């Protein structure tokens, strides 16, 4: 069953239900759903293009973020990965009087698993009138923060029930996320104040022109949001599993941060060597990804372990002992 038309022509109840569930999950006044998370950055930056003049981007940001930045036609300066001091230096160097900066970043980096220091970026923008920060929180939603609202909540920025300019004094906060990662649903979501969401819905051709997902996929995402919201044991178990994996890897001498992010990157040796490790684990029915080239990857690429809430203690022990044998 398809949707037959863009949402401008007809809006299904399933779509409205999902948008209302997303707003309630994120603690915002409203939300708009997109057929993919990749489209979120493009929709936000295109809609808000009149509100910024110069872009400052974390150099390891996802393709979706850089594509959106390039489409805006505004100048782009790249700062070091998660480096707020470098951002401050670039702001001093490149921002002319009266220009409005936009800082863009992933919330949680797809490959590296790092959490963007959004609070430090806001502090770096304190002296800039009319600054904005855009966070693509594809990998933060459903994982970080007390209620799983993502990177902004992790940094204590998630308590307010509005996004946009009320959040951080002179700094507007815009974000989008995907339901396709931790939630196991599908599609992107942009959440915020009524005014912000209305603005994006009204001015983004992506929102107006793309066919929404078929109702059964939308309903699946709505149910996923309900589940993660009401059954907090799922996220608690995820964090228990993440701790077990990360402590195990640290005990093997690997440098691993101890954040609750369920993505662990291991870069060891060269690309073919890592592909051999991936193959040897697969022979033991353990599937981990190898990314040769991806946004944020180092030369040679990286193995990437994704931890799930329903992995058992025994399965994680098995992963760790297999890694001990092959690394
Ligand atoms: C930061 C970021 N944005 C967007 C996407 C794409 O999201 P989707 O797969 O829902 O289109 C990803 C996927 O990994 C991502 O990491």
Helix (H) or strand (E) holding 246: helix 233-251
93 has a pLDDT exceeding 50: yes
Q: Are 64 and 41 in contact (CB under 8 A)?
A: yes
Q: Which atom of ligand 1 lies at the shortest distance from residue 107's CA?
A: 1
Q: pLDDT digit string (tens) for 136-175?
A: 999 999 999 999 999 999 998 853 434 454 455 678 889 9
Please give the distance, rounded to the nearest whole angstrom, from the Cα atom of residue 47 to the centre of ligand 1.
19
Percentage of residues in the chain with pLDDT exceeding 70? 95
248 has a pLDDT exceeding 80: yes
Cα distances (angstroms) measured from residue 121 to each of 115, 136, 247: 12, 14, 30
* Atom 10 (ligand 1) nearest CA: 37
Residue range 113-133: mean pLDDT, rounded:
93
Rg (CA), the chain: 20
Tell me what pLDDT residue 162 has.
Answer: 41
**Three-state SS at 148:** coil
Q: Which atom of ligand 1 lies at the shortest distance from residue 61's CA?
A: 1
d(CA 256, CA 7) in angstroms, rounded, equals 44
Mean pLDDT of the chain: 92
Mutate to test the pocket of ligand 1, among 36, 37, 109 (most ligand atoms within 8 A of CB): 37
Helix (H) or strand (E) holding 136: strand 131-136
Please give the distance, rounded to the nearest whole angstrom, from the Cα atom of residue 60 to the centre of ligand 1.
13
Q: Are 313 and 238 in contact (CB under 8 A)?
A: no
d(CA 30, CA 59) in angstroms, rounded, equals 31
Cα–Cα nearest to 163, from 281, 26, 310, 316: 26
Ligand 1 pocket by C-beta < 6 Å: which residues? 36-38, 62, 64, 106, 110, 136, 138-139, 178, 180, 188
* Atom 14 (ligand 1) nearest CA: 110
Q: pLDDT digit string (tens) for 69-79?
A: 999 999 999 99
**Three-state SS at 193:** coil
């Amino acid at each position: 069953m398809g949707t037959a038309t863009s949402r401008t022509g007809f809006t299904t109840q399933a779509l409205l239900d999902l948008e209302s569930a997303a707003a309630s999950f994120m603690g915002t006044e409203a939300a708009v759903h997109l057929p993919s998370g990749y489209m979120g950055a493009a929709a936000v930056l295109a809609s808000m293009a009149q509100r910024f003049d110069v872009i400052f981007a974390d150099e390891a940001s996802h393709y979706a973020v850089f594509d959106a930045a390039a489409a805006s036609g505004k100048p782009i300066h790249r700062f070091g990965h998660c480096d707020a001091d470098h951002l401050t230096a670039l702001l001093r160097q490149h921002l002319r009087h009266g220009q409005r900066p936009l800082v863009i970043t992933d919330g949680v980096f797809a490959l590296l698993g790092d959490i963007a220091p959004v609070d430090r970026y806001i502090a770096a923008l304190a002296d800039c009138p009319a600054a904005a920060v855009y966070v693509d929180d594809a990998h933060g939603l459903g994982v970080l923060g007390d209620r799983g609202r993502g990177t902004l909540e992790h940094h204590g920025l998630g308590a307010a029930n509005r996004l946009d300019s009320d959040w951080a004094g002179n700094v507007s906060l815009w974000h989008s996320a995907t339901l396709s990662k931790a939630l196991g649903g599908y599609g992107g979501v942009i959440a915020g104040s009524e005014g912000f969401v209305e603005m994006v819905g009204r001015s983004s051709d992506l929102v107006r022109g793309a066919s929404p997902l078929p109702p059964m996929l939308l309903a699946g995402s709505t149910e996923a949001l309900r589940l993660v919201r009401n059954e907090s044991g799922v996220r608690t178990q995820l964090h228990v599993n993440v701790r077990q994996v990360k402590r195990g890897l640290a005990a093997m001498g690997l440098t691993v941060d101890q954040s609750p992010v369920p993505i662990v990157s291991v870069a060891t040796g060269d690309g073919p060597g890592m592909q051999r490790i991936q193959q040897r684990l697969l022979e033991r029915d353990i599937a981990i990804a190898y990314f040769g080239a991806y946004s944020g990857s180092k030369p040679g690429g990286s193995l990437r372990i994704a931890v799930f809430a329903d992995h058992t203690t025994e399965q994680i022990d098995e992963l760790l002992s297999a890694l001990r044998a092959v690394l």
